[in-house]
Structure 1
Amino acid sequence: RRTMASSDESSSSDDENEAVKPKRGLRSVLLQYMLYDAFVRPQPWHFAPLYDTDREKVWRDAVRSVCDAHPGAVYVVSCAGELPSVPIFAASAIRDSALSPSVVHVLEPRRPIASALRSVIGDNELEASVRVIPSSASVFRPNPKAAEGAFGSAARVLLVPGVEDISTIGRALEDVKDACEHLLTSDAAILPSRVSIRAVGVSVPAQTEVVRARVGVVSGFDLGAFNRFRGGSPVDLVRLRDVKHTAVTDETELTRVLLTSSEVRDKECLLDAVELELRATVDGELTAIALWTDCEMLDETLSGGIERKSRRQMLSFLPSPLSVSSGSVVKLRVSHDPSSGLEFSPVDVSPASADAKTVSMSVERWHFPMVNDERRNSVYDRAIRDATIGRRVIDIGGGTGLLAMMAARAGAAEVVTVERVADMAECAREVLASNSFADTVRVVHGSSLDLEPEALNFKDNAKAEIVLSEVLDDGLLGEGVIPTVAHARRNLAVPGARVIPAAAKVWAQVVHIPFQPEPLVRPAAAAGDVEGARWAGYDTMRPPQVKNYTSVRLDRVAHVALTEPFPVFGFDFDADLDDPSSTAEYCRETVLNATATREGIANAVVFWFTLTLNRGEDDAIADICTYPAMAERCGAKESSRCWNEAVQFVESVAVRSGETLSVKAAHGPTRVSFSDVRARREE
């Protein structure tokens, strides 16, 4: 955040500062890029509100009514939780309703997003009525000499989409205070006109969703030490409809804020709730408070609750679970942390110290669904029991040490688990000790790619007889399973060492995925339709990984399957060492054929994989499939939910039922990719 205003931020002009700027060094450029990537670049959820048509209708109707009653300049305060959509809704509603000309001012201090917004404004032919100001409500000042309704004049209407999002409401309310102080006329209207923060107490069990529910006993092992990575009172943003949970209290209002100039100016803190009372509706365990906002938009309410697909709710976990009985009242202390959100603790318990809230950011949250996936764990446990008795085992990417403990429990002669993240390696040692395996399993901190056999410290400097790993992302190769296994087999294991998993197969399906209020970053420019062209200017904002593939739960996304599933690449991780497939640089390209099963517009390839952990009598039957709906069709015994499906968008092409589609597929050591989907038609 800047501490001083530049000339273009403190005046009513959106022209860029033309002053000659000194050349920056490479370090400065790299630092700026890293900060942009970490704090500014939109993520998939930022795109979801663009395609929420119900939300757009509410905003357009409300803007039309309020601007008719308050003709003059309109200001929109940017929202950190989404890409700017409300300025387009507002300007188009004013234009389409033939209201008296009003300039829509957009306060957008994030310059890359401001630049993309200008492109969207141009694509929607709104240049004459929308001006982007690279500034914030705390810095920008209207021009006192500007005519009413002209560019730079004081606001008669203020639009604050940030209060819709529970994760940004704190910042948005501060923007409202700043705007009331500096931007608004005395009779200005604010939309939404009133905001209510709703709360309900819930019980959230351990599960395969990316949520930091408390971890306990997994596959017979106590993994409680892993809870250090939750933090004292973790706050997660989730779509509650996707998370396993049970409401254990009634729903109530935490606080309500009337957004008028007089009300806002009189309050020191707009999130001033001190205590929350909840009445239990069932006997059970209260583990978290779910929160969202309801926004009054004149005659309608925009709810950010469980039914709003484009919004996430805040899940604020209590420091410790509370047992509740039906009819009892729970009193909780409320605090607002600008960096995380609203936090809760029992009023009769002292607040946690700052040290207790410190959480290592080196351990990513997908570890929680992974260790909680009972199906994945049981399949690995079965394979480990069948292979490791009396053998020396190296477990690569060991994490909590779960698979290593399975090997030790199964009767392995020696077990070494290798973990490159220091905090996780330390956690593994604690987990091993709490399960009485500290003397049985050794933890080596580092990357297996950097190790020599001596580092494993097997008896008599022997090498491993079993190479065990689970370094598999949603697209199979993204965590480096090919180079990892290739290096281990050549450098850390005996010739002919057994590899678990032994093989994998990538499967794919050509689909059509329409624009929808989901965390999907579908390229808009290539869509070839009105809805796509409308937001094409934001294509430059897509996260870099989306250019490869994005992860989704396909059963939650509207889509049309245009082909049957088909196999793409098979991987034999235990192939002979002189086989090209056992090298760290293994690459292939191919063109696959699939028959279209219906007419439609093909614009994406969805893919997943099956795993064979141990070779058996029938290698055609896989042990596990990462797309549960396709497990039977892919010949897998089990399915797993800790992996998502991967989607890669391609250039749109019209297909007819019965046509043969060609799909170009390729893979390198760390990525599977698809391109050039074509329909082969007879001349």
Structure 2
Amino acid sequence: MRQTYSNSSFDPLTEDLLRYLERVHDVYLPRRLLDFAIDKEMQLAFQKTCERAVKGRNRVHSLHMGIGAPFTAMLAVRAGASRATICEKWPHLAAVYQTLIDTNGMVDTIRVINKTLSEMRLKEDFAFPPNLLILDSMGAGFSGNSFGAAIRFARKELLSPDAEIIPKGASLFAVPMELRTGLVCGFDLNAFNRYRWTPIYEEIRLDQQEYKPLADPFVCVEFDFLDPLIPEDKTFAVTPEHSGIWNATAWWYDLVLDEETVLATDPQSGTSSRRVQALQYLEKEVHVTNGEVFEIRVRHDGRHIRFEPESTHSDDSVISTVRLGPAVPHWHFPMIADETRNDKYEEAIVRAVRGVENPRALDIGTGTGLLAMMASRAGAAGVTACEMIPHMAKTAGEILETNRFGNKVHLVAKSSFDIEIPLDMKEKANILISETVDHSLLGEGFLAALQHAREFLLVDDPAIIPAGALVYASGVEIRTEDVRGFDFTPINLLRLNHYTCMDLNRVEHRRLTNESEVFRFDFYQRDFKPTQKVFELPVINDGKCNAIAFWYRLMLDKETFIDTGPDSGTIAWQQAVVFLDREVNIQNGDVLPIIGYYDQHMLGFSIDTMGCMLNGISMDSGDRPFWFKRLMEEETDFQSYTKEISERVRNAGEGAANQALKNIADNMDKLGFDPLIVSDFIIQIGYHLQ
């Protein structure tokens, strides 16, 4: 149920942000079910635990919370529970849960209540007190989901005195580490580390990161859910095994479901998208020396956990460090760390500089200034680097000065569309360098920037890096059907009409068609008009095609390219996936007709409905439940609403925004907000404000 804030004690900006965050949660949380549905190890662990909890007991009434609530509720009923109740605040998520219960024929024994836990009342909402509580809402950071408050309230107000709780407890493990950007291709990029900042925490897969653990993992917090949760403030003496700079702490946990089953989330625990670790950066870096003991202070209050040097003199009453800070989207870090990407760009840049007379380079979207410094080091007589984000431009300036390129690379803190000659550039460049390409190739507006530069900023026959791209596509099946004997096919609706990016090697899928080249871009071309074409993909496997996955070969020049496909090994890019608006039933030997289209800002695909009909290929009926139609309507309206909120924050200023964000963080448990959604929101606000 959505809350109203008109009579609250919050200021108007906080109220506006609360309403926005409520819509974010309601619209985007349902897709978390898709991640839940692929974690088979977790599903099996909960199945065994539920069966043991229900076995041999009479008249079990179970209460369920968390993204896995419909699954654990159905497990309990199948194991013998007489009733199960699901508590879910968010309307769209509650509607999806109800659909799953209906689909599996358990509507008479499982009830979904669209309330927060604190709104539930024993006499109103339960036939008799629940004697089994099952929670699946821990998240990577564990303590950010207010599980302690939920358990305390349930035990006091709702549960029977002899109620069993699953899980029973947890042990949190922490490791101090050095996770930084240093020398990249011989350039000092240390200034970029100021963007390693997290308002609450971030999810991370340590098995995909290059980092230096400074000490062995240690148990920092232990929870017993049968006892009242007490805030803790502890100091741990840690002996480092390596010298380095402590700038981050990662943590994970062992979740004790019962005496026989422990669910681990450590870096070696599996490849599930739910099995990730949490990460928090320090506000100030600390130098540590091998063998010399240093102290880590760990504080938690059931909502937040904070790691800091013991020497830090901070307000003991404040654990959350929520505030605006320097922010960039997190994909910048793996991009900068991608040695293959960096080396190949430099190869192409060196050839371009050596191949023209009096080389003058323009780097559009310079970011850290890395590619601009490469051009200068290769011998370009003049290099102009433009960056439209003010705080990124400032950081690039520091990096240029640190590497003694301050008087060799001219930095312009503007969009390339605003550059004027001779005000910002003495003369037109004869080399264009840019890496403003995303997972889908065109999502950062590269074609628009290129076309403008060709007309106003470049000579008639410039060298262009990248020189072109080949786009490849394949029809795939990424679906959920059976989950431990339950029919979860309704959640496939959550994939429809949706664009995302993913590492296909880590996602269970079936390739149904051959990989086919669908677009060939020549970036030396002067004009890029919106284009739409029909392609035919040869079908090699039977299945339900519900998505088109695509990737590309980025031709930096005639000799050097970067592949972004699933077998490329790149860490800077994943594969783009466009989920179709309808599922298509195809068989080996069919030809799947799809429509590919692009303009200066996007590239996408859809199904060729008429072509499918002519080829005798069937599609699903297109009938959709009411909740799904409402969800799609809200998603459609969301982009304009986001722009409206961003403008509201900009007008309010940084001080008012900081206070509003602190109000939200301090009340996350009462509001039922997810810490990762709030954290990402704060980073985005900071990114656009600075």
Q: What interval of TM-score do these two structures reach, taking the shorter chain for normalisation?
A: 0.7 to 0.9
Task: Map 1:108-257 to 2 at 5 A.
Answer: 108-143=88-123, 151=126, 153-163=128-138, 165-169=140-144, 171-201=146-176, 203=177, 213-231=179-197, 235-245=201-211, 249-257=215-223
- How many Å separate the matches in 1 of 2:4 and 2:19? 18
Q: 1:531 to 1:443 in 2, by over 3 A?
A: farther
| Displacement after TM superposition at 1:481 (Å) | 0.9
Aligned residues between the structures:
594
CA contact (8 A) 2:566 2:574 kept: no
Deviates more, 1:468-477 or 1:159-168: 159-168
| Displacement after TM superposition at 1:474 (Å) | 0.4
Match for residue 348 of structure 2 among 365, 383, 387: 383
- How many Å separate the matches in 2 of 1:170 and 1:30? 19
Q: Which residue in 1 is equivalent to 2:334?
A: 369
Q: Which residue in 2 is equivalent to 1:439?
A: 407
Partner AA of 1:549 in structure 2: Y
- How many Å separate the matches in 2 of 1:163 and 1:682? 47
Task: Give the structure with the higher percent helix.
Answer: 2
CA contact (8 A) 1:70 1:189 kept: no
Match for residue 494 of structure 1 among 444, 447, 459: 459
- How many Å separate the matches in 1 of 2:367 and 2:98? 45
Cα RMSD between the aligned structures?
3.8
Q: 1:669 to 1:533 in 2, by over 3 A?
A: farther
CA contact (8 A) 2:121 2:158 kept: yes
Q: Which residue in 2 is equivalent to 1:21?
A: none
- How many Å separate the matches in 2 of 1:279 and 1:29? 47
- How many Å separate the matches in 1 of 2:25 and 2:192? 26
Q: Which residue in 2 is equivalent to 1:534?
A: 488
**Structure 1 residue 642 and structure 2 residue 569: aligned?**
no
Task: Map 1:64-143 to 2 at 5 A.
Answer: 64-68=51-55, 69=57, 71-77=59-65, 79=66, 84-86=67-69, 88-99=70-81, 101-102=82-83, 104-143=84-123
| Displacement after TM superposition at 1:609 (Å) | 1.0
SS of 1:370 mapped into structure 2? helix
Q: Which residue in 1 is equivalent to 2:23?
A: 36
| Larger relative contact order (Cα-Cα within 8 Å, sequence gap ≥ 6) | 2
| Displacement after TM superposition at 1:302 (Å) | 2.2
Deviations 1:185-219 (A, max 9, x none): 32222111222223345x55xxxxxxxx3111112
| Displacement after TM superposition at 1:572 (Å) | 1.3
| Displacement after TM superposition at 1:365 (Å) | 1.1
CA contact (8 A) 1:507 1:566 kept: yes
- How many Å separate the matches in 2 of 1:295 and 1:193? 8
Partner AA of 1:386 in structure 2: R
Partner AA of 2:338 in structure 1: D
**Structure 1 residue 59 and structure 2 residue 53: aligned?**
no
| Displacement after TM superposition at 1:493 (Å) | 2.4
Q: 1:29 to 1:343 in 2, by over 3 A?
A: closer
Task: Map 1:324-363 to 2 at 5 A.
Answer: 325=290, 331-336=295-300, 341-348=304-311, 350=313, 360=325, 362-363=327-328
- How many Å separate the matches in 2 of 1:479 and 1:593? 28
SS of 2:329 mapped into structure 1? coil
Match for residue 561 of structure 2 among 623, 628, 639: 623
- How many Å separate the matches in 2 of 1:352 and 1:489? 55
Per the normalisation by structure 1, the TM-score is 0.76
Q: 1:537 to 1:645 in 2, by over 3 A?
A: closer
Q: 1:356 to 1:296 in 2, by over 3 A?
A: closer
* Runs of 5+ consecutive residues of structure 1 not aligned to the other structure: 7-27, 205-212, 516-526, 631-638
| Displacement after TM superposition at 1:170 (Å) | 5.2
Q: 1:643 to 1:112 in 2, by over 3 A?
A: same
CA contact (8 A) 2:49 2:257 kept: yes
- How many Å separate the matches in 2 of 1:676 and 1:302? 41
**Structure 1 residue 312 and structure 2 residue 276: aligned?**
yes
- How many Å separate the matches in 2 of 1:43 and 1:404? 43
CA contact (8 A) 2:503 2:566 kept: no
Partner AA of 2:332 in structure 1: H
Match for residue 261 of structure 2 among 295, 300, 317: 300
**Structure 1 residue 403 and structure 2 residue 367: aligned?**
no
Q: Which residue in 1 is equivalent to 2:449?
A: 484
Deviates more, 1:47-56 or 1:465-474: 47-56
Q: 1:646 to 1:168 in 2, by over 3 A?
A: farther
CA contact (8 A) 1:362 1:421 kept: no
SS of 2:571 mapped into structure 1? coil
SS of 1:166 mapped into structure 2? coil
**Structure 1 residue 675 and structure 2 residue 603: aligned?**
no
CA contact (8 A) 1:505 1:567 kept: yes
Q: Which residue in 2 is equivalent to 1:453?
A: 421
- How many Å separate the matches in 1 of 2:42 and 2:114? 26
